[in-house]
Structure 1
Amino acid sequence: MSLRAVVIGCGHYLPERVVENKEFEATLDTNDEWIRSRSGIERRHFAAEGETTSNMATSAATAALNDAGLAADDVDAIIVATSTPDLTFPSAATMVQAELGMTRGFAFDVQAVCAGFVYALSNANALIISGQAKRVLVIGAETFSRIMDWTDRSTCVLFGDGAGALLLEAQEGAGSPADRGILSTDLNSDGRYRDLLYVDGGVSTGTTGYLRMQGNQVFRHAVSKLAATATTAMERAGVSASEIDWIVPHQANIRIIQGTAKKLDLPMEQVVVTVQDHGNTSAASIPLALSVGRNRGQIKQGDLIVTEAIGGGLAWGAVVLRW
């Protein structure tokens, strides 16, 4: 027997404001066809004035708790994956803890940009299998609309806001790939590539800054690194690509998603795709896609899922789990 971190609840939150591609035509030299053909994105959600990352994270967490039929004080820990916290400190996770009315346990943020949720899942898994926590809320939440340079058509049309959450619980498994829960994780980073994707602000500049990206270079690294990390995670889990029911990738760009699926020799019919409706929501994109995929009836209990992401750092990784 071995402990597994099993998903017992999931939920998501999207801001009310939907921004269609055509909205950008008034201020940028771009159009709907240009954005769709290069990214697969048709629309995205932007947070309202005064709506913060922690607000959205709390809404997603509440949905996950309701899905599991549990209360905030049934949870031991909260991990929020985000690159856009409300404040420099304290962590968004402690704000979520307070908003949920959770008066016990501990909460912290994980920052690995678009790979943040994979990193957070890996941390939650480690807490659970080491016996440090029985139940962990893992949340991805971002307000990337607040770090966009609205004059840069190559970046500002790609990102959106939102939040998704999973509630993980320690359960006994047989120690085989047939177990429910997280079966394996694989994390990687290489700081030599920091200039490919970064925000030019922070404590050192005294400004919030804007997102800067060398899109072609990021694309070049993304497909090979995502396929490699997914393959490593599957090997560690003792499963093959032919056994996978769903790929739930980071939703950055439809061409990256298609390229990775092709390298893994899995058809697009087995890929959960939400990028057309959400844009790139960074650390929120995987839990958003998991929740939407479950609500669509795609993801069902017992399904074998591989999820992978790459973001600034560069940081990348994958998780294999049985739903």
Structure 2
Amino acid sequence: MQLASIITGTGAYIPNDIRKNADFSDHTFFKSSGTPISAHNDTIIEKFKNITGISERRYAPAHINASDMAAVAGWQALISSGIDPETLDQIVVAHNFGDIPYDTIQSQNVPSLACRVKHILGISRPECIAFDVLVGCPGWLHSVIQSHAWFTAGMAQKVLLIGTETLSRVIDPADRDSMIFSDGAGAVVLEYQPSATGGQGILGYAAQTHSIEEVDYINMGKGYKQNGNDTLFIKMKGRKVYEYALKRVPLAMKECLDKSGISINEVSKILIHQANEKMDEEIVKRLYELYGTSSPKNVMPMSIQWLGNSSVATIPTLYHLIRNNKIAGHKISGGDIILFASVGAGMNINAVCYRV
């Protein structure tokens, strides 16, 4: 009997608070030097949309924290899978900033978000181990790889994997890049079980960390409006991140496919971290070029246009939406090959090849 790591349930928390690009029209944006940007806001926002593809994003309501969103997404995934929550072996929550109460920038990581989720869900089984993963935006996909390793080592059979973030609470309103980030949570139940069709589940993976000159491409820094405030916000060296991603991510994705024994022509969908529409399109284009071919139409579903970049939540949320026919023009059927990929702070990259 062949066992496989199979996604049996999905869930997501998508906040109802919509912030459109026009909502930033009254902001005063500054350069990193502390001087105001001279361009008109309409020009700044239009250029931003052309590059990132983002028209709107979602923010969590004031009374909701990252662990609350994680619990909702996790509960949906448990219902979708049909398993008894008390049979879980692990609850793993990927994030970067913990719980940040509204109108503060104080990260709360004790107790861990995974323990908070276990508490909210009322799961009492002590053998259900709860822990967090912090690997930048690739954190959720890292937890998938990690759980697959636990499975094959015989140390777990059922896990709840969640990505959650309230990035709206760590952004610098004076920074143009603040328009990229959003809030949300996505979750899956991953089980180690017999493959119904044979060859189902995780086929292979690749992961890399580049932390020499790349380590601070995404970091925490002071606000651009220099007013003596030492509060730190999430910051990006946008050009550096873009160049790094285009150089490194396609190679890691190819490594994953090659290790999995899968041809590029067998890939049905590529679910890449929703970081930047133009960047993601170019990554996929370069991946196919590595195989001497061009990327087909409709291979890369996107949600960034209306959900923004919610870091670790983007991939599981996107998979949940497609699985439930919520992304127009995209569907997933049994036997389809899915290539997941992510890049983010560290700098970290990972990819997973999965047969539905």
- TM-score range normalised by the length of the shorter chain: over 0.9
The TM-score with structure 1 as length reference comes to: 0.93
Structure 1: distance between partners of 2:13 and 2:158:
21
CA contact (8 A) 1:82 1:142 kept: yes
- Secondary structure of 1:114's match? coil
The TM-score with structure 2 as length reference comes to: 0.85
Q: CA RMSD in A?
A: 1.7
* Structure-2 residue corresponding to 1:42: 55
* Structure-1 residue corresponding to 2:279: 256
Identity within the alignment, %: 32
Structure 2: distance between partners of 1:294 and 1:85:
28
The letter of the residue matching 2:5 is A
The letter of the residue matching 2:215 is R
Structure 1: distance between partners of 2:152 and 2:23:
47
The alpha-carbon deviation at position 74 of structure 1 amounts to: 2.4
* Structure-2 residue corresponding to 1:56: 69
Unaligned runs of 5+ in 1: 202-206
Structure 2: distance between partners of 1:274 and 1:122:
23
Q: Give matches, 1:266-281, under 5 Å.
A: 266-281=295-310
Q: Deviations over 1:129-173 (max 9, x none)?
A: 2111110111111111111001111x1000110010010111134
- Secondary structure of 1:18's match? strand
- Secondary structure of 1:195's match? coil
| Worse-superposed segment, 65-74 or 43-52 | 65-74
With over 3 angstroms needed to count, the CA separation of the structure-2 counterparts of 1:186 and 1:22, relative to structure 1, is: same
Select 1:93's aligned residue among 114, 117, 135. 114
Structure 2: distance between partners of 1:268 and 1:220:
24
Select 2:205's aligned residue among 163, 167, 185. 185
| Structure in which a larger fraction of residues adopt helix | 1
Q: Deviations over 1:86-125 (max 9, x none)?
A: 1132210111111111112101111011111111111111
Structure 2: distance between partners of 1:316 and 1:120:
13
| Worse-superposed segment, 238-247 or 289-298 | 289-298
- Secondary structure of 1:84's match? coil
Select 2:192's aligned residue among 166, 170, 173. 170
The letter of the residue matching 2:41 is T
**Which has the greater radius of gyration?**
2
1:316 aligns with 2:349: yes
Q: Give matches, 1:277-292, under 5 Å.
A: 277-292=306-321
Structure 2: distance between partners of 1:287 and 1:30:
33
Structure 1: distance between partners of 2:20 and 2:234:
21
The alpha-carbon deviation at position 300 of structure 1 amounts to: 2.3
Aligned positions, number = 315
| Worse-superposed segment, 212-221 or 67-76 | 67-76
* Structure-1 residue corresponding to 2:31: none
CA contact (8 A) 1:13 1:56 kept: yes
